[in-house]
């Protein structure tokens, strides 16, 4: 298994500091957040890690320059997450799994990637999307999972995925399970991304390509990981990440 970490985004929600430091390199204790994400991928079994950066984020290249399992590719224009992922397509062969970890999403309290790899192995190599429960009043901020067969789910459960609904209203939400920063996808995703048209915000969205793949009956599971996603892409989220990381990991 190889991993892919998109870290080329503009970081506009965290300006002005992101004009000099990529948000992915903000410290969590003594280490950059991105290093914790790289470690998650390695301990989940990733043998090679591709980090997608932009020209303004050379600090990332410099920091990881001594690491033989890390490759850097560039996204020259910030056309969205799906477009960033596509820039790494040459590293992944047919039938391989692509473990995608968002560079600004720390998952505290578990190794979500490792658990997802186990779910995939137990389900014939299906693609797996990590998710977590969110309060109903916040479903409109996320991609929300629609289960193929509804049942009461808890942390640590996996379920067959029927669809993902982007930012639904409370009334229209098919569940309270939000897509949460970790994806283990069949490399077929690159075929879908290659002709993916721009969606919400004029950006090429990874979710749109996943939805088309699900509609084509590629097997997909959702997995509710036993931890919490902390979005370090904005000041409040970053502060919460620091507090919860210290509380959970003691450092």
Q: Which of 78, 140, 187, 244 binds ligand UTP (CB under 6 A)?
A: 78
State which residue, 11 or 222, has the beta carbon closest to ligand UTP. 11
103 contributes a contact to ligand UTP by CB under 6 A:
yes
Minimum CB–partner distance for residue 95 and ligand UTP (Å): 25
Q: Which of 3, 6, 108, 225 binds ligand UTP (CB under 6 A)?
A: 6
d(CA 175, CA 1): 30
Q: Which of 75, 111, 175, 230 binds ligand UTP (CB under 6 A)?
A: 75
Contact 194, 163 (CB under 8 A): no
130 contributes a contact to ligand UTP by CB under 6 A:
no
Task: Write the DSSP assignment of 17-32 as a string of letters.
Answer: GGGTS-GGGSEETTEE
Element (H, E) at 85: helix 81-86
State which residue, 13 or 42, has the beta carbon closest to ligand UTP. 13
Per the DSSP assignment, residues forming a β-bridge with 154 are: none
State which residue, 12 or 47, has the beta carbon closest to ligand UTP. 12
Cis peptide before 16 (omega within 30 of 0): yes
Minimum CB–partner distance for residue 117 and ligand UTP (Å): 21
Q: Which of 2, 3, 11, 180 binds ligand UTP (CB under 6 A)?
A: 11
State which residue, 141 or 248, has the beta carbon closest to ligand UTP. 141
84 contributes a contact to ligand UTP by CB under 6 A:
yes
Minimum CB–partner distance for residue 67 and ligand UTP (Å): 19
Contact 188, 197 (CB under 8 A): no
Task: Write the DSSP assignment of 138-180 as a string of letters.
Answer: GGGGSEEEEESS-----TT-EEEEEEEEES--TTT-S-SEEEE
Using CB under 6 A as the binding rule, the residues of this chain from 171 to 200 that contact ligand UTP are none
List own/partner pairs for 233-236 with CB under 8 A and 24 or more apart: 233/9, 233/11, 233/13, 233/14, 233/23, 233/104, 234/13, 234/14, 235/14
Site string for ligand UTP, 21-50 (x = CB under 6 A): ---x--------------------------
d(CA 18, CA 9): 10
Name the closest residue to ligand UTP (Cβ): 9
Q: Which residues bind ligand UTP (CB under 6 A)?
A: 6-13, 24, 52, 75, 78-81, 83-84, 102-104, 233
């Amino acid at each position: 298994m190889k991993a892919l970490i998109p870290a080329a985004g503009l970081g506009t929600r965290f300006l002005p500091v992101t004009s000099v430091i990529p948000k992915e390199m903000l410290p969590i204790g003594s280490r950059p957040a991105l290093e914790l994400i790289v470690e998650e991928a390695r301990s989940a079994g990733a043998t090679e890690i591709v980090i997608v950066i932009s020209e303004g984020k050379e600090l990332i290249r410099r920091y990881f320059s001594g690491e033989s399992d890390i490759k850097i590719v560039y996204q020259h224009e910030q056309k969205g997450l799906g477009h960033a992922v596509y820039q790494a397509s040459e590293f992944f062969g047919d039938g391989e799994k692509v473990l995608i970890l968002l560079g600004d999403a720390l998952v505290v309290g578990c190794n979500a990637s490792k658990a997802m790899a186990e779910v995939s192995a137990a389900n014939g190599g299906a693609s797996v999307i990590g998710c977590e429960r969110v309060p109903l009043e916040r479903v409109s901020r996320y991609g929300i999972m629609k289960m193929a067969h509804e049942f009461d789910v808890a942390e640590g459960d996996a379920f067959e995925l029927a669809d993902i609904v982007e930012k639904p209203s409370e009334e229209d939400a098919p569940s309270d399970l939000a897509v949460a920063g970790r994806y283990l996808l069949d490399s077929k995703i690159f075929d879908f991304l290659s002709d993916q048209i721009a969606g919400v915000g004029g950006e090429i969205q990874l979710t749109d390509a996943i939805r088309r793949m699900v509609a084509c009956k590629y097997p997909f599971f959702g997995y509710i990981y036993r931890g919490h996603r902390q979005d370090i892409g904005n000041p409040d989220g970053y502060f919460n990440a620091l507090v919860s990381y210290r509380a959970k990991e003691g450092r």
